[in-house]
Structure 1
Amino acid sequence: MAINRNVAVVVPVASVLLGALDFVWIKYVPFPFGGLGNSIAVWAVAAFLLTFLSRWTLPVGILGAIVCLVLAVPSYYFAATLIQGDAPASMYNATALLWMGSGVVAGTVFGAAGVLARTGGRLRAAAAAMPGAVLFAEATMQLRRIGDPNYETADTVEYTVVLVPLGVALTVLVSRSWPQRGLALLLALPLTTVGYVLLSLTGFR
């Protein structure tokens, strides 16, 4: 279909930009905003927005989101090699492979959600709740660190204050009406629980 033809151009460009700009963001943007760069939740949101803003069909959207997240990983580490002299082997070491594996899962789920949030149907509100829910899930993980001597309480609270409003803002922006926004925010609550469990399983804590 004609609407799918640009995927071969958009996805590689998006993956390079996501990976390289993510590294630059982490390196040069101060905390707490800089923490967004080292977040699998943010990468999941990127997959959602990629398919939400495109006009791809569901299968193409899912495939495009997966490829984007997987290719973004070596792009990230390649930027690290160029900018701060990291070893090229970091592009395919165990950590990189773990991120790629997580990218397959996140690309499948959030790529599909982006298409469904745009195309409508009964799942539109639930799909629109997904980016907010995954950010709320990460915020929940942050709050559970309060009292842990391995983490600074002030940093944890500051980062949470960034994540929660960002999740609300995204939910509002990707929904088409205030009733849909309210429903999406309501649905984000149980989805946050699911997201928390899945983020915990990834090992990125």
Structure 2
Amino acid sequence: MNPNTTQVAVVAVVGGFLLGFLDFVWIASMPYPFAELGNSSAVWAVAAFGFGYWVRTGWLRAAAGAAGALVVAVPSYYLAATLIQGDDLAIMWAPTALLWMAFGVLAGVVFGVGGTWARGHGWRQVVGVALPGAVLLAEAALHARDIGDPRYGRDSLWLLMINIALAVAVVLLAGGRTSVRLRGLAAAVPLAAAGFAAFRLGGFG
């Protein structure tokens, strides 16, 4: 059964709050390199994809809900930072936070719609299934650039392998049928190249 508009709005607000708050808790409590997943923009994009995948149909609701969830997640993240490590609460509305909210709107629209596409048919389904894997591979490429840099040691290699493993796993989970999974994995590679360029353009890595 598809969720109605009220359910979508409630899940967007509550889910966004939990995403941001628990993301900081994850960073503060998990050992490295797994803690670094909390600093991953790709992971938040995958969360937006999961929201759209849950919505199933209605790309406008999926886009608005996923974007809203990521926007709510930003101040929630900084609230957790205030409560856990005593950061200044004013950072919740600082320019940096507003910039992350803007990125959240963009990622929410793209990956929220991608989540509904993954439930569909034809080329849209393949692209939808590929998107979460592609963004994780794009972030893996950022880590690959740092391999060999003495400042990072083996950290970048670990993060590279974690991102690749997650990319494959999420495509396999979203794809359903074997044929869709295989096409999704294939499509994720060129989409990852575009995602890498977008990361660089946005000042990431």
Q: TM-score range by the shorter chain?
A: over 0.9
CA spacing shift, 1:13–1:144, aligned 2, 3 Å:
same
Match of 1:196 in 2: 196
Q: TM-score, normalised by structure 1?
A: 0.95
Per-residue deviation at 1:2?
Answer: 6.5
Are 2:184 and 1:184 aligned?
Answer: yes
- Paired residues in the alignment total 204
Q: How does 1:1-205 map to 2 (within 5 A)?
A: 3-149=4-150, 151-205=151-205
Query: Which whole-Å CA distance do the structure 1 matches of 2:67 and 2:125 have between them?
Result: 21
Per-residue deviation at 1:153?
Answer: 3.0
Out of 166-175 and 94-103, give the one that drifted further.
94-103
Per-residue deviation at 1:8?
Answer: 1.9
Query: Which whole-Å CA distance do the structure 1 matches of 2:139 and 2:23 have between them?
Result: 18
Runs of 4+ in 1 over 4 A off after TM superposition: none
Query: Which whole-Å CA distance do the structure 2 matches of 1:45 and 1:14 have between them?
Result: 13
Contact 2:135-2:192 at 8 Å conserved across structures? yes
Query: Which whole-Å CA distance do the structure 2 matches of 1:189 and 1:2 have between them?
Result: 32
SS at match of 1:5: helix
CA spacing shift, 1:178–1:19, aligned 2, 3 Å:
same
CA spacing shift, 1:124–1:33, aligned 2, 3 Å:
same
Query: Which whole-Å CA distance do the structure 2 matches of 1:18 and 1:117 have between them?
Result: 22
AA of the residue aligned to 1:112: V
Query: Which whole-Å CA distance do the structure 2 matches of 1:2 and 1:190 have between them?
Result: 33
AA of the residue aligned to 1:190: P
SS at match of 1:118: coil
Contact 1:4-1:57 at 8 Å conserved across structures? no
- Percent identical among aligned pairs is 47
Per-residue deviation at 1:147?
Answer: 2.9
Query: Which whole-Å CA distance do the structure 2 matches of 1:2 and 1:110 have between them?
Result: 18
AA of the residue aligned to 1:65: A
Per-residue deviation at 1:145?
Answer: 1.0
Contact 2:3-2:55 at 8 Å conserved across structures? no
AA of the residue aligned to 1:7: V
AA of the residue aligned to 2:149: D
Q: TM-score, normalised by structure 2?
A: 0.95
Question: Unaligned 5+ residue runs, structure 1?
Answer: none
Query: Which whole-Å CA distance do the structure 1 matches of 2:50 and 2:3 have between them?
Result: 20
Question: Unaligned 5+ residue runs, structure 2?
Answer: none
AA of the residue aligned to 1:113: G
